[in-house]
Amino acid sequence: MLQQLLQFDRHLFHAINYGMSNPFFDWLMPLLRTPKFWTPLYVFIAGFCLWRYGKKGIIIIALIGCSAGFADFTGASIIKPLVHRPRPCQDPIASVTDVERVGCGGYSFPSSHATNHFAMAVFMILLWYKRWRWIWLWGILWASVICFAQVYVGLHFPIDVFCGALYGAFVGWLFYKLFKYLQPKFPDWVPVV
């Protein structure tokens, strides 16, 4: 069963990384996976939190950052060394047709980009869903595009980003629960959303 799953994972990786190759994606996907590309969005979110909630918005900004930081640390420093899954460029089967569009190194499972961005996305979705129902679509789309880019550029297998997304969503949910726990205990510090 595990071998069949890994074989399907390699097949899906090949379909995305090699089969979907085109000049436009070759230009766009490396950009979409780069944190600097998303800096305007991060600045907008921070500015919105400060504008909407004043000084209390710093708590939301800190929890967004902490959710990504916690997901990144636990995924990259604990899970990756335990699992030891090679990246597609290091995999004896996938490396034969792997199109490397960025550098390759380290372990592959889970994708840190997936864990970080899904942690932030799910935290923000849970935080603002009652006010703006459409936020779930944009949050999931944003994090999913980054995950797709990770597979397209050849850094991760689809299972790496899928499991990273699930783990990141769990971390985002945990930090939302922390926010809801802190809200009544520290009303002078934590905003009501």
pLDDT at 139 over 90: yes
Q: What is the pLDDT of residue 111?
A: 93
State the average pLDDT over residues 107-136.
Answer: 92
**pLDDT class of 100 with cuts at 50, 70, 90:** confident
Average pLDDT of the residues of the chain: 89
Q: What is the pLDDT of residue 73?
A: 95
* Confidence (pTM): 0.89
Portion of the chain with pLDDT greater than 70, in percent: 97
Distance CA 22, CA 145 (A): 16
Q: Each residue of 161-181: pLDDT tens digit?
A: 999 999 999 999 999 999 999
Residues sharing a CB contact under 8 Å with residue 59, sequence separation 6 or more, in sequence order:
179, 182, 189, 190, 191
How far lies 152's CA from each of 23, 30, 42, in Å? 12, 9, 24
10 φ/ψ angles, rounded to the nearest 5 degrees: -65, -40
Q: How many CB atoms lie within 10 A of CB 29?
A: 24
Q: Which residues pair with 86 in a beta bridge?
A: 107
SS3 readout for 121-175: HHHHHHHHCCCCCCHHHHHHHHHHHHHHHHHHCCCCCHHHHHHHHHHHHHHHHHH
Determine the angle formed by the axes of helices 158-185 and 2-17, rounding to 10 degrees.
90
**Amino acid at position 48, single letter:** F
Q: Each residue of 33-55: pLDDT tens digit?
A: 988 999 999 999 999 999 998 88
Strand, coil or helix: what is 107?
strand
Determine contact, residues 128/179, Cβ cutoff 8 Å. no
Is-cis flag, bond preceding 35, omega within 30?
A: no
**pLDDT class of 182 with cuts at 50, 70, 90:** confident
Distance of CA 113 to the CA centre of its chain: 4
Q: How many CB atoms lie within 10 A of CB 47?
A: 12
